[in-house]
Chains A and B, each alone.
Chain A
Amino acid sequence: MSDRVARLLPWLLVLPLLAMPLYVDGSWLIIGILGMAGAIGAIGLTVLTGTAGQLSLAHAFFLAVGAYGYAFLAAGSEPGGEASGLGLPSTVAALAAVLLAGLAGLAFSPVAARVKGLYLGVASLALVFIGEHVLRNAAPLTGGFNGRRVPTLSIGGFELTGRNPELVVLGIPFLERERLWYLSVLVLVVSIVVATRIVRGRPGRALRLMRDSAAAAGSMGVEVRRYQASAFVCSSMFAGVAGVLTALAFQYIVPQYFTLLLSVTFLAMVVIGGLGSVGGAVAGGVFVTALPLVLEKFSTSLTFLADPGTGGLDATMLAHLIFGASIVLVLVVEPGGLAALGGRLRTLVRRS
């Protein structure tokens, strides 16, 4: 098989994705939607951590900015609403929320530009903890401890995350989840294209050299500090997109979701996928997001799983054990992660 075909192969996966809502029910679609949101967030983190060599544990914070940003900007000031809003058109609000996440990343650049690698990783912990604190306490904006509702996204009266106006395709009613599914596929494809271009293009080359030798990057004319900050901003914008999608999927967001654990989960995604690989981040993102949800879905038939809260091994805990073990295993056995395995598979395909 030619190189070109091998390279196009992954795109063929999009076709079954498009047909999915015709075959599976909403409970599977929501797992897929969250998986795609995870994949988009993971793409952002792999650009930062894999390509630029900057560790970040603040990813959950930027997801929160995207999620809450959208909810705040799009929500009308309906009477009795628990938290305020600006009432912008929802599409504008979604885009603005992504920009807002980028701005939040930019605001951190005095630190992000000067602090390198591991140091940035632990320094960025500040954002998660301070962010969570703000989410809990800035009740007028965030709804506080109880969280806030997420407004429906619609274009010209057509609800992309609602059920109006009615739409039936091939006898299947397209409700919230079916519509959001297609939106997610679209956004995921755009994210993959954008990230691949950045990683392969001029910015990606500069970031890689910065990671491998900051001194050499400087001597090639790369403004190291500015690029370090830019990588951070870029990564937070992907997180912002993931945040908006997550919010739309949940329809209700609470501070307890955007904690350090979420940041760690994203790190698990990019490590399992293979640091620096966009395709790997997508695979890792879907795997890590979907695993606990799928386990939970089958928890009644998986008899060794206990009910949550009873102190036994429940689905979330099992998922954590699997993530932890996968991180360790991947880094010890195959640091290239799923991406390296995929690469080997491609070589096999090409040979046959």
Chain B
Amino acid sequence: MTRALTVEGVTLQFGGIRALDDLSFTVEPGTVHAVIGPNGAGKSSTFNVISGHYRPAAGSIRFGDTDLTEMAPHRIAREGIGRAFQNIALSGHATVVDNLMVARHRLTRAGFLATALGLPGARREERIHRERVREIADFVGLGGQLNASAGTLAYGDRKRLEIARALCTEPEILLLDEPAAGMPAFEKWDVASLVLSVRESLGISVVLVEHDMPVVMAIADHITVLDFGRLIAEGTPEEVQSSEAVIAAYLGETAAHDQAVTTAPSTTPTAC
């Protein structure tokens, strides 16, 4: 069983702006935990604080008994926190398998010298991890495209590759930043079932930032709702759906927002 991830009293400042304001929530082991809220509510900032890319002005983040607050991103990754990026941060020219192998970094050792000399240990390590990477690629449905270069994949496949890469770090907990954004409906549900099977068959907790409400309501065990960097509601999908505060927060932008959700790729992916 995995450990719980606890965000406690986190405040994040950018100049005069409070991106996160005294935010607290706990991701229970083995759950799918969604973080939702209107645009600019601080969802991605929450991820950036957890994964160590931003340092909070106050508060702490703990993973089980380990304090992550002051850790650099690579240390946090080594603690078993995997992350898939919203804007697809892949190496576009590299192959699918190379993009996945880089995620084995924390699990492998071969440095410049061992690799240069082609030491037996380095070769063995490479072989073993390639095998595992192939399994994970199969798991997300990219098994047939291992040697294609990532930049040539279809948008949906690149999103999947992002998820697969995060899985290749063998995380205890997986942060997914809008995995279904910009996808047509049928692909969204593919991703949704992928997320569920990550939890079912790999036993990994998932923290999910997602705009698509039907998907969130269908797969989340627990939901945290943010607005202006503050927590305004949390609970099961049913509890959140009936919360006055949530309805009020969303009403303001429902019209515009629904438009964005239904007319597909509102967020153009950055080229990679």
Of the candidates B82, B102, B169, the one whose C-beta lies within 8 Å of that of A205 is B102
Interface string of B124-142 (1 = CB under 8 A from A): 0010000000000000000
* Cross-interface CB contact of A203 among B83, B90, B98, B111, cutoff 8 Å: B111
CB distance from B205 to the nearest CB of A (A): 17
Contact of A218 among B52, B115, B122 (CB under 8 A): B52
- A194, A218, A219, A234 pick with most chain B CB within 10 angstroms: A219
Inter-chain contact B102/A220, CB cutoff 8 Å: yes
Please give the number of chain A residues whose Cβ is less than 8 angstroms from any Cβ of chain B in the complex. Answer: 27
With A220-B106, A221-B74 known as contacts, the answer to whether A201 contacts B51 (CB < 8 A) is: no
**Chain A hits for B91, CB < 8 A:** 205, 208-209, 211-212
User: Which residues on the B side are within 8 Å of A205 (C-beta)?
Assistant: 91, 94, 98, 101-102, 105
Say whether B89 contacts A202, CB under 8 Å. Answer: no
**A198→B115 contact, CB < 8 A:** yes
Residues of A within 8 Å of B64, CB to CB, are: none
Q: List chain B residues, Cβ under 8 A from A211.
A: 91
Contacts of A197 in B (CB 8 A): 115-116, 118
How big is the B interface, by class? 35 or more
Q: In the bound complex, what is the Cα–Cα distance between A238 and B93 (angstroms)? A: 25
**Residue from the list B104, B116, B166 in contact with A198, Cβ < 8 A:** B116
Q: Judging by beta carbons under 8 Å apart, are A215 and B85 in contact? A: yes
Pair B73/A219 contact, Cβ less than 8 Å: yes
Specify which of A194, A216, A218 lies most central, judged by the most chain B CB atoms within 10 Å of its CB: A216
- Which residues of B, 70-127, contact A by the 8 Å Cβ criterion? 72-74, 76-78, 82-83, 85, 89-94, 98-99, 101-108, 110-112, 115-118, 122, 126
B-to-A contact residues, CB < 8 Å? 51-53, 72-74, 76-78, 82-83, 85, 89-94, 98-99, 101-108, 110-112, 115-118, 122, 126, 165-166, 169, 272
List 18 additional A-B contacts (Cβ < 8 Å) besides A202-B101, A209-B91: A197-B116, A202-B105, A202-B108, A202-B110, A203-B110, A203-B112, A203-B115, A204-B115, A205-B102, A205-B105, A208-B91, A208-B94, A212-B272, A213-B90, A219-B77, A220-B105, A221-B77, A223-B74
